[in-house]
Structure 1
Amino acid sequence: MSLFTGTASYYRQFRPGIPEDIAAILDQAAPPRSGDPRRLLDVGTGTGLVAEALLSRFDDIIAIDNDADMLAAAETALRPKLPEGSRLSLVESAAEDFVPPAGWKANLVTICRAFHWLDQAAVLARLEDQVAPDGVVAIFSDSSFWTATSPWKEAVRDIIKTFLGEERRAGSGTFQHHNRPYTDVMEESTFDQVEETRIPVHRTWTTENILGYLYSTSFAAPHLFGDRLPEFETAVRERLTDFSKDDTFAEENEFLIRFGRRSRR
């Protein structure tokens, strides 16, 4: 069973996308267009949120994921938006196993909200031969609801724990934390020149958005609740009324982007 079984439709509809200013920063970090196609490799693409944000900025995009339902949702959403003359390939593959077409090298690799699921050192080593000499690897994410940073998020997380236990779930198992900062891992790879950028994000949620987001996660996927799902949903709705009279919930978040480049030797 996939970590995200049954979540693809919620993921596509309720996961926050990539803001325009983040897309612009990613675009500027990669080498500019030259005579060759500008190539993007999006690892762990899910429903294609990163690829969608960068669709007009790259000529040749390969987006990979090991979840067929996620890729199907990405195909439906992205294919109609693909600029004329651009290429988009959606590939079902684990990052640790992916092999690009012969001679294909990425100018930018993006790994968004996915690096914690990967064999990090192995993926970075594999990318050595998949990234152009002046290419960039961007590893980034914002904070999930599990790492609660506001009273209403803490309340929602407490309800999840009441139903599913104290440990953070990850599909049928529990989440295994990586204890090392991503920067340290990257500095031990070929992409050892690491630059960090933080971009603040303000969002406003509703109860429907919050439940949809939760159902898109590995720690609160609908199937985890079994026949108690309606009971869980009622508990969340009732608890959230303590924090808002008009069903709006403010969130202050940020994207932390780590850009990795090869040392100039």
Structure 2
Amino acid sequence: MTVGLTGTSVLNRHLFEGTVPYYARYRVPYPQALLSQVCEQARLANRGRLLDLGCGTGELAIRLAPRFQDVIAVDPDTEMLAAAQQKAQNQRVTNIQWLHQSAEQLTAEPNSFELITIGAAFHWMDRPIMAPRIRSWLQPQQPLVILGYTSIWSGNADWHPLVRTVLKRWLGEKRRAGSGEFNNLAAPHELVLIDAGYQLEEIKYEHPQTWTLDDLLGNLYSTSFASPAVLGEKQADFEADLRATLLDFNPSGVYEEQMTFYALLARHE
């Protein structure tokens, strides 16, 4: 298998500047039951190759690595990759090749991968370009798996609107995305994939999550819309406002939600 670099990087807009320490500590990991079901439905041979696009701090690449002979993990953020490499080293995972580039820059031979994963990152990519390109990289009948989960913006816990209100009070009505603004997708992932010739199936997994105020703030600081870089000099005031707002709602300082994790399995003939 040959992988390489071509073209120019998609504008990153410093999406996750300053988030890495929070990302590694406060992101909720994908439930093992969900990953196990993905591996079962992908009918892995345990000797193939995995490509993880937008790998971040290595959450998927490292946890799935034991199921593969080789893993290629790709991300345009050097700090994310450094954290991922350190995590892999700490866990003695040695079969991952880390590539500093965007997904759009990657080249690979046809039928190179038994599985391709994208964890909560497909929306940052040029999806109409990547979807057919990924098809050519996959072995026949093997899936592209796009994973994700509910967030503060899409969740329906009774305290979520309070968090959104505080975010908008300090950062404006428009959701942020690094140094720019978040643009809602013109089409859902499913439609993009169907247009590219995939057949789809979805796995959903409900996960009860309990947050302390410190954990919730750490999670927010791991995002592209409320990172320390986005908040800048407003960070201390934002944090004080959020703490006061949520403690007024629930003085216990403990907040529960039912998170929905999903895996979208896309196969081609």
TM-score (norm 2): 0.90
Deviations 1:58-114 (A, max 9, x none): 22111111101101111111223245xx510111111111124x6771111111111
Partner of 1:116: 123
Query: Given that residues 44 and 67 in structure 2 are in contact (C-alpha distance below 8 angstroms), is that contact kept between their aligned partners in structure 1?
Result: no
Show structure 1 runs of 5+ residues with no match. none
User: Which residue pairs with 2:243 in the alignment?
Assistant: 237
Give the match for residue 10 of structure 2: none
Q: Within the alignment, does 1:19 sit opposite 2:31 as a pair? A: yes
Which residue type is aligned with residue 237 of structure 2? E
| Residue in 2 that maps onto 1:125 | 132
Report the RMSD for the aligned CA atoms in angstroms. Answer: 1.7
Contact 2:51 2:113 in 1 (8 A): yes
Structure 1 counterpart of 2:164, from 119, 134, 157 = 157
CA displacement at 1:188 relative to structure 2: 1.5
User: Is 1:47–1:74's contact at 8 Å kept on the other side of the alignment?
Assistant: yes
**C-alpha displacement at 1:234, in angstroms?**
0.7
- 2:84 is the counterpart of 1:78: no
Q: What is the letter of the counterpart of residue 255 of structure 1? A: F
Aligned to 2:62: 52
Distance in 1 (alpha carbons) for counterparts of 2:266 and 2:210: 32
Change (3 A) 1:21 1:235: same
Q: Does structure 2 retain, via aligned residues, the 8 Å contact 1:96–1:126?
A: no
Alignment of 1:161-200 (within 5 A): 161-190=168-197, 192-200=198-206
Displacement of 1:56: 2.1
Match for residue 64 of structure 1 among 67, 71, 74: 74
**Deviations 1:171-198 (Å, cap 9, x if unpaired)?**
11110111322111111114x1111222
Percent identical: 34
On the 8 A contact 2:135/2:268 being kept in 1, the answer is no
| TM superposition shift of 1:235 | 0.7
**Match in the other structure for 2:224:** 218
Partner SS state of residue 32, structure 1: coil
Rounded to whole Å, the distance in 2 between the matches of 1:82 and 1:141 is 26
Query: Could you say what secondary structure the match of 1:55 adopts?
Result: helix
Three-state SS of the structure 1 residue aligned to 2:16 is coil
Q: Distance in 1 between matches of 2:22 and 2:111?
A: 33
Question: How many residues align structurally?
Answer: 257
* Structure whose residues are more often helix by fraction: 2
Q: 1:262 aligns with which of 253, 262, 268?
A: 268
Note if 1:6 corresponds to 2:18: yes
Q: TM-score by structure 1 length?
A: 0.91
SS in 1 for 2:67: coil
**Deviation per CA, 1:102-147, whole angstroms, max 9, x where unpaired?**
6771111111111111111111122133211232101121011122
- Correspondent of 1:90 among 69, 75, 98: 98
1:137 correspondence with 2:144: yes
- Of 24-33 and 208-217, deviating more is 24-33
Matches of 2:89 and 2:113, distance apart in 1: 20
Greater mean deviation of Cα atoms: 157-166 or 239-248: 239-248
User: Secondary structure of 2:202's partner?
Assistant: strand
